Structure formats: C-alpha cells, structure tokens
Chain A
C-alpha cells in the first residue's frame, strides 16, 4: 500500500556567515503500511515523525527538502509526481488528520462549506449532493444534530468536535490511506479514547489503511497492528505490535517501553540511565545514531548498523539486536 524507502529530508539554512548549514532531520526512513493495516509511528519529539508524513504527502515548505528516497503508493513514487498529480491524491486517496483541529478549520467558512469544498475538489458532484454527503459524514463521525452543526463556524466547536469534523473532512472522499498526526494531542483523556475508537472503527469499516503518528505507546498497543519506532530520523525498530512489545530488540525501544507510566510504577519511579539529549542534527555521528545515548555502546557501533530482521518482519537497526531479543526486559 505505502512503502517508504530510504527517505532523507534536510533543512537547508544559510547562516549569518553565509555558510549553508544542513540539519539532517530524516536519515533514511523505511517502513511499510500494508493493505487494511494500522501502523503506529512512535518516537520522541524531534524524531521526525510528522516530518515523515509531510514529506510523503509533499507538503514540505522551504527550507525543508526531500533529498533522497522513495514513497511508493501502490507502486507509484509519490515523491516523483508532479505537483498537480500529488494534489489530486491528497485529500482524495491519501487523507490527513492533524493535531490542532480548531486552528486547522478556516475561521470564516462554515463546517459544511469546508466539507463541500474538499468533496468537490476531488469528485464530480453538484453542490446539493455534496452538501447531503457532508451532513452524512458529520453523522458518521458521531456529531449530534449534524444538520444544524453543518452551519457552525470553527469557533463554535469544542476541540473534540473540531477533531471529528476534521475526520469527516479526511474521510469524505473515501480515501485508501489515512495519516493521523497526533490526532488526540490537546483533547481530554475521555475524548481522546472516543476519537481513537471512532478512528479505528471507521478505518476498519471502510477497509482503509492508516498511519497513526503518536508518542504514546499505549495508543499503539491498543489501536495498531504494526509499530515503527523512530529515532533521529530513522526507523530503529519495526514489526508487529505483539512481537515488538514482547521482545523489544533495540535499546531505544527498550528505554521507551521502560519509560511508560506502568513500567515506571513497577520500578518505583526509577528512570533508566543514559544521556538525555537527542542528537545534534547538524553534526550527526558516522556510526549508530543512538550510540552516544546508549548504555550498551561498543566498538562496533562506530559502524552504522543496518535494519536486519530478528524474526519474520521484525526489523531492528542495532548490532546487538539478537542478544536483546533473547534478554527479557527488567
């Protein structure tokens, strides 16, 4: 469905000394989203999760630029398409749900006008039919009294309502792939669960695939089929959710899992050791990008590890992955 291969995205900026400085934000991202699969993309802030999504959708603005890699959507490389071809896929076949729903709705246009606009940009329907469809979609995402809400403006909606409207906008053209970029950040915990349940049900019912970007491992465990863990612009570990949680085989994944509230509580709130700072994107090391934060770094780590399978489709980018796979978590 979607296969991202060796995606490199850089930020190019010219400093006051007129030297071009390059921030290497994505350094070879590889993952796949299969047919009818929900994949969770996790990692800390700055790992490049959202940037990966925006790179794939062709939404980067200067100074960000994709410098290498492919994003194959049903065999077509999205990164090689013309602007116009890509625009037709966006919102039509590949839809995005973002993390700031209220500010992502246009303030001066009603909800239904925005839904109609998106629908008619991709499908040959008349105004009246599009409006009927818009109200149907609002009902489908669980908005009470959709006929009346259709005439609302963004400032009249709560955060949870606005997120549902965005979902209606994303789904109105029956896309094949949904990318949800931290869809529940900023929502109340109870609303978060409602929104995520809804998202999963809609994706399942329509036979869609989804990529869910989050920093919350709990969400991945509960809602996703597969997981891809990102660190410093690389996927360091990916595989089925069961496999990865049962046998986390990259030290970074292990630390992420050890940092979840449940796990911390089990160890009496004691965090794992190690350096706290993410790597400097302007001066990345040659070898393993995680080496300077890793408790297990050794001489081999000066050579960049490849993503190798530890079992089946469970891929890990670490020289010692097989050892970790056998070692149970503390």
Chain B
C-alpha cells in the first residue's frame, strides 16, 4: 500500500521535471550560438535559399512560438527530425539507446561487483595494507582520462597483444548482425542460436565494458568504504561492541546498515556514467546514444540534442525510481509502517 502511494507520487513528479528539462534544453540549444541553417544549406547557398530553409524549419518564428510548436509535437510523440541522419529523432534515440545501455549496464554491474566488496574489505581493514593498496589503485582509476583509458586498452590488448578485436563497432564486419529484438547483438544472436555472432559481439564488448567498469569501480569503491566506515563509527556499532557481540554479528550490522546508501550511490554513478560513455563509444566506434548526442551537439543538430537530453533525463529519473523502490523494499521498516 505504502509502495503504491509512493509510486503514484513519484510518477506524478515526472511531469513537471520533464517539462522543466524540455524548457531548459530548448533554450540552452538556442542560445548556444550555432546556426544549423548555414550548415544544412552548404557554402554555396544563396541568401534566398537560406531564408527558405529557415522558413521550412520554423526557425524564423519567435523563440517562444517555436517552443510551443515543439512542445505540442513532443506530446504527440514527435521529437523532430535529425538534420544529420535525416530520420525522426525518436527513431534514432530508440535505436541507439539499447546499444549504450548494453555497454553501461554491463560495465557498471561488473564495476560494482568488484568495487563494493573491495570497498567493504578496505573499511574493515581500515588503514591496513589492503586498505592502502586498494585506495591507491582507486586513485589511479580516478585520475586516468576516459578516452585515454580507451585508447590505452586498444593499444595494449589489440595492437600489442592481439587478444582483443579492433575497436570498430559492436560486431565483426565478417559477421552478419542478427535481427533486432532487444538491440543487444549479444542477446539477439543468442536468441536465434547464432553462436558465432554471439562470440563476435561478446569479443567487441569486452574492452569498452572493461573501460566503463574501471571508471565506475574507482568512485564506487571509495564511497562504499566511506559509507561502511561511517556506519562503523556510529553509536549503535559502538554500543554493539560494548555488548560483546561476536565479530560476525558486528559485520552483519555494518552490512545491513550500509547496503542502502551503497545501492543509492551505484545508481547515481550509473546515471552519471552515461555522459562518460559517450567518449568510450567514440573510441570504440560503438554508435550508441552517447556518440549520437555528442555528434549532434558538435554539429548543432537542435532536435537531436533535445531528444538526446530528454532521453538522458528520462533514463536518470527511471534509474532513481528503481533505486528508491529497491531501497524501500530492502528497509524492514517499510512493512512495519504500512
């Protein structure tokens, strides 16, 4: 019951938030100083041609009028047309979102699976060797620039060692991509029993996923350690010590009380990484949403940028919603109050 009220309240909150994001990106894009008309028309276009294109795109209207038209279109599910790909932005976003998601979810999952235990162990071994070593490694993860890490990976594992395939997309050029079901070549290949395709897709995934994992692991380990240390210095852990509980019982108390803040942090990290993923996608020619958005920003593709930002915002809202539901389900007090 409590959960349903919570869900309704949260979903109602989506409406003003998304509206605000639409408004914000719309004006941000327009004060950016880019003029797409010149780019579309090309260098040889006459003034009359430029004016005609401007009229076709509706860019000769006052900006508030443009926003009203845009808002009406969005409500009808029309995000506009990309000037680069010449396709509806909604189509582009839906095609590319799963591609980025595949990279992001695997990367963050692997990063968290490594970093959370490391962070916890570091907290329990506070200031001892394991703590110091893991902190130093995590500092290294923090300080490596994303694109450099990608290039380094390719240099070592593809060029020097030859263990990994080149960073040229999501599946080998020699393999026919499977028909799209989920958008993940790995899963779609497995669905039709194409083992060769699955192996190729997996091979292409390894390096970029590893990059995301490394980049997410550093902050996750650091925060997990800090969260567990804070719980360990709480009054109730001190009091548990004073009542002579066994060390294992003490560890259980620390784990129980740090799990929700850790989960929340991993969620925050996941939403933050979607921007970082754009750079990794570039290095590995991944062709996902991040690369699409970056391209659109550089080339002044207004509708595409707006669609990209909207997709990102929606993704963040959904991730936070899922995290909050999980937190609620993990808290034994939820059942008590309903």
Decide if A153 touches B242 in the complex (CB within 8 Å).
no
Roughly how many angstroms separate A57 CA and B244 CA in the complex, as a whole number? 10
Roughly how many angstroms separate A171 CA and B113 CA in the complex, as a whole number? 42
Decide if B240 touches A90 in the complex (CB within 8 Å).
no
Option from A92, A100, A104, A105 in Cβ contact (under 8 Å) with B244: A92
Q: List 27 A-B contacts (CB under 8 A).
A: A88-B244, A89-B244, A90-B243, A91-B243, A91-B245, A96-B239, A96-B243, A98-B239, A98-B242, A100-B235, A104-B235, A105-B236, A107-B236, A108-B257, A108-B331, A109-B332, A110-B332, A117-B249, A118-B244, A118-B245, A121-B243, A121-B244, A121-B246, A153-B332, A153-B333, A153-B336, A155-B333
Option from A88, A96, A117 in Cβ contact (under 8 Å) with B242: A96
A96 contacts across to B, CB distance below 8 A: 239, 242-243
The count of residues in chain A whose C-beta lies closer than 8 Å to any C-beta of chain B is 30
Whether A90 contacts B253 in the complex (CB less than 8 A), given A100-B235, A104-B235, comes out as no
In the complex, how many angstroms separate the beta carbon of A55 from the nearest chain B beta carbon? 13
Contact indicator per residue, chain A 161-189, by CB within 8 Å of chain B (1) or not (0): 00000100110000000000000000000
A57 contacts across to B, CB distance below 8 A: 242
B240 contacts across to A, CB distance below 8 A: 106
B35 an interface residue at 8 Å Cβ cutoff? no
Decide if A59 touches B241 in the complex (CB within 8 Å).
yes
Whether A106 contacts B244 in the complex (CB less than 8 A), given A98-B235, A155-B333, comes out as no
Roughly how many angstroms separate A107 CA and B39 CA in the complex, as a whole number? 60
Decide if B235 touches A103 in the complex (CB within 8 Å).
yes
B332 contacts across to A, CB distance below 8 A: 108-110, 153
In the complex, how many angstroms separate the beta carbon of B127 from the nearest chain A beta carbon? 9
A83 closest partner in B (C-beta): B247
Roughly how many angstroms separate A180 CA and B332 CA in the complex, as a whole number? 31
Decide if B241 touches A118 in the complex (CB within 8 Å).
no
Residues of B within 8 A of A (CB): 234-236, 238-246, 249, 253, 256-257, 331-333, 336
Decide if B243 touches A169 in the complex (CB within 8 Å).
yes
Decide if A103 touches B244 in the complex (CB within 8 Å).
no
Option from B242, B256, B257 in Cβ contact (under 8 Å) with A59: B242
Roughly how many angstroms separate A153 CA and B257 CA in the complex, as a whole number? 14
Decide if B333 touches A108 in the complex (CB within 8 Å).
yes
Contacts beyond the supplied A104-B235, A107-B333: 20 A-B pairs with Cβ under 8 Å: A57-B242, A59-B238, A59-B242, A87-B244, A90-B242, A96-B243, A104-B236, A104-B239, A106-B253, A106-B256, A108-B332, A108-B333, A109-B256, A118-B243, A121-B245, A121-B249, A151-B336, A153-B333, A155-B333, A170-B243
B239 contacts across to A, CB distance below 8 A: 96, 98, 104-105, 166
Roughly how many angstroms separate A121 CA and B336 CA in the complex, as a whole number? 26
A179 closest partner in B (C-beta): B242
B257 contacts across to A, CB distance below 8 A: 106-108
B259 closest partner in A (C-beta): A108
Roughly how many angstroms separate A280 CA and B40 CA in the complex, as a whole number? 77
Roughly how many angstroms separate A90 CA and B241 CA in the complex, as a whole number? 8
A318 an interface residue at 8 Å Cβ cutoff? no
A95 an interface residue at 8 Å Cβ cutoff? yes
Whether A91 contacts B242 in the complex (CB less than 8 A), given A104-B236, A153-B336, comes out as yes
Roughly how many angstroms separate A59 CA and B234 CA in the complex, as a whole number? 14
B240 closest partner in A (C-beta): A106
